[in-house]
Chains A and B, each alone.
Chain A
């Protein structure tokens, strides 16, 4: 059979799912595909945006690409890459890079880059300390923003102090400050990110040349930091488990507990219970400001908003503490293991020259890694959580004024539409009339909710347009791990449909067989039993506390450098990430085999086994 040259569909050939045209048209004009886009190569950013985008959540893509582009193109001046463009169709975000190909321009940019990026590398620690101060100040600013509200009359104080600004103005002020802050956060995010990954990749590249068959995990383990903020939330859960035992209130925590009931019971329990609740508060601020997802969607709630995850982990930790098992993270041991690994690989190098280069590059990688691991807590978790919760407050205010039924409905509006709804409310409050929103938005919200649901039923092509000969955009290779080889795999994905084996990135080695527990959201975490294999769409470092319960982890999304992979390695939990289809192909209760060294998951039985009654 003659086969046509393989390629991905052109953007112009993609059809908007019938019935969702209005929802598609509501995304900003600059994110819609146009005819010229057929000339370029695009890929589906399933790593960050695996699900159809609520209209408001598009701000996450937009603010990130505004900042990423600025830092690549104009701040650090990467020699061969400018920014990343994005489009949305059927709720799916496609992105495409802008490469620099003109040799004269590359030459000019190299000169700029060396003056800028090298300065960062040379002053990394100072600049990173400064970065943390900036981020903490930005977080404090967001925390200081008041909850938007409209009184019947202005407080007397407004007049007596000659304030001269009414409450409706505060709505616009809060909203715009919050949107501004979110954009600023993304600038901070990209201030170090590419340089950090670049230094890491330089070491990675050297290791792959010196040791052609070295695993990605071995290199990551040589670089991994030990004190990153991202490990702290789990440390806090352990601390709370320990305090519960010390205070004698540990019997309150059981599998499948009703969390509100437990909190109420502790409060009623007297001093010990109250003291534990005080400890909980200490942990919550700031360490429970971690998202149970990746922080890219409004519905990735933080532990503070939904205590299911940390509480699901408490009984297990409490049992281990009472059994005398050490649950502390053996930081000293981890550090010495890392040093041993670095020394052992060094010993295998053939020449003194190579050992000198190796020393320099591992030094640079260790220098940058605290940012690579640590920034997520401040950016994607803490700040993003504050941001979406502030928008939720607007959702509640507008709901109270009849704009829609549920607080969460606000996320069906784009950021511009939300500003217009706020102004509608500001106007009507001032006029003393009824806002127009209640007769305008409910139908739109309903239509968009239906569109998101519909889009979720349709798969989308992993890429669009002609396959480029080479992918040498460092940003795309580093951030998305996309290489020419990946694209070939995607193109051939259809040729092997019926295998019982799924392939992904080998995140942490070890072979485990057991029952699969397909967990679609944090609410289902309570279903995990000791020894289960977690199968989920996106695994996240903040799921770490439940790693004690499971025997292995499998995810649809994530690369071998993803945070999930880092944490899995640290816990010695066999893991395969980025399988693409695990949550769809594996059924709850099926026996599966996870081989974390090879990056494969095998379905051992076709039919789910009955759970023990």
Chain B
């Protein structure tokens, strides 16, 4: 999208190229939406919103300069400033236009409940060591609470870990910003993750799917051992079916947030996906991988009506970072490859 400086952008208006203003998560959800893939609707509170808020904060009392003046080794000072700044981000008044934009978008979305997630703008920020940034608030019920959760996401920029990381890497505070995704929440029957290459061997010809009953947070957090399937990306053959004992599921709590419910057999031991659903997931996984031109880590959910929805897709990083060495050396006479089988090695 042409960046118009608006505080809020709908998924349908943005893409991966908008990362500087909508963050990686927001850009990816926008990209998927644009590619026609079923994503729960939502919007991004852009970095412009954050910048305007920060300008208001700075006007009252400096923020960035004080962070830059810190000594990363002085944990006491870092902690003190972190507590102060996070309180300010949560407590001090928002510029009215920003607040209005969020409330209006929330009303337009018309969702019973939303997920509020931070959406980092730089690759660095996606680094696992950049802890504290990946804040996610699930099953947020009303508009006021949504605004409060957006502020908490912003506040995580001033967590001890986050500031220390920037100081150690000498990242300038100018340009440090945060987008926040607000998305309609799916009351999932089943949810989980999907890797479009093997996490164990790096094989790009298989798709691994992990899932459990209820919300995907149980799988992502590792609190429930998910069912696991390995299937041929191209052929759809299912070569591994590990159906686990899923002792619990996470579901929305009536007053907001999520709650864990213990499960008994047979539900605990029943596969949480049908073969048709597995095949539908595979199709979507292939489509997304094709769209991005590289293997993906995907979060998905199936709602109570059986509709498959994509919650997140990001490039696979572990195997992709390795040097791709040729499988076999190139031989002038290709017949010499048969020597591998007939003995004597390749000539």
A complexed with B: yes
Task: Answer whether A350 and B238 are a contact pair too, CB < 8 Å, given A472-B343, A474-B342.
Answer: no
Taking the closest CB of chain B, its distance from the CB of A473, in whole angstroms, is 9
What chain B residues lie within 8 Å of A353 (beta carbons)? 326, 329-330
- Interface presence of B222 (CB below 8 A): no
Partner of A511, one of B205, B206, B275: B275
Given A213-B206, A350-B324, A357-B330, answer yes or no on A509-B338 (Cβ-Cβ < 8 Å): no
Is A117 located at the chain interface by the 8 A CB criterion?
yes
Q: A212-B198, A218-B237 are in contact. List 20 more A-B contacts (CB 8 A).
A: A81-B343, A100-B343, A198-B341, A202-B340, A206-B327, A211-B206, A213-B203, A215-B235, A345-B205, A345-B234, A348-B205, A350-B326, A353-B329, A357-B334, A357-B337, A360-B337, A364-B335, A478-B341, A506-B239, A598-B238
Contact yes or no, A198 B235, CB < 8 A: no
Of B233, B241, B327, the residue contacting A354 (CB under 8 A) is: B327
- Determine if A250 is an interface residue (Cβ-Cβ < 8 Å): no
- Which of A117, A213, A509 has a CB less than 8 Å from the CB of B205? A213
A479 lies within 8 A of chain B by Cβ: no
Name the distance in Å between A576's Cβ and chain B's nearest Cβ: 13
Q: How far is the CA of A361 from the CA of B341 in the complex (A)?
A: 13
- Taking a contact as CB atoms closer than 8 A, the residue among B202, B232, B327 that contacts A214 in the complex is B232
Among A202, A213, A350, max chain B CB count under 10 A is at A213
A571 interfacial contact with B, CB 8 Å: no
Say whether B240 faces chain A, with CB atoms less than 8 Å apart: yes
Contact assessment for A217 and B237 in the assembled complex, using a CB-CB cutoff below 8 Å = yes
The A-B contact count (CB < 8 A) is 133
**Set of chain B residues within 8 Å of A81, measured between Cβ atoms:** 343
Given contacts A212-B198, A214-B203, is CB(A117)–CB(B234) below 8 Å?
Answer: no
- Interface of A with B (CB < 8 Å)? 78-81, 100, 106-107, 109-110, 113-114, 117-118, 121-122, 198-199, 201-202, 205-206, 209-215, 217-218, 221, 341, 344-345, 348-351, 353-354, 356-357, 360-361, 364, 472, 474, 478, 506, 509, 511, 595, 597-598
* Contact pick for B234, options A106, A209, A218, CB 8 Å: A218
- How many chain B residues touch A (Cβ–Cβ < 8 Å)? 38
Q: How far is the CA of A364 from the CA of B227 in the complex (A)?
A: 40
Secondary structure class of chain B's binding surface, majority of residues:
loop
**Inside 8 A of A349's CB, which chain B residues have their CB?**
327
Smallest Cβ distance from B322 to chain A, in angstroms? 10
> B201's contact among A110, A199, A213, by CB below 8 Å, is which?
A213
Contact with A along B227-253 (1 / 0, CB 8 A): 000101111111111000000000000
Q: Is B328 within 8 A of A209, CB to CB?
A: yes
- A80 touching B203 by the CB < 8 A rule? no
Say whether B234 contacts A110, CB under 8 Å: no
A213-B204 Cα distance, complex, nearest whole Å: 9
Given A113-B342, A474-B343, A211 and B335 touching (CB < 8 A)?
Answer: no
Nearest-neighbour CB distance to chain A for B42, whole angstroms, equals 32
Question: Would B235 and A117 count as touching, CB distance under 8 A?
Answer: no
Selected contact of A341 from candidates B235, B327, B329, CB within 8 Å: B235
Chain B 313-332 residues near chain A, CB threshold 8 A: 324, 326-331
* A356 CB → nearest B CB, Å: 6
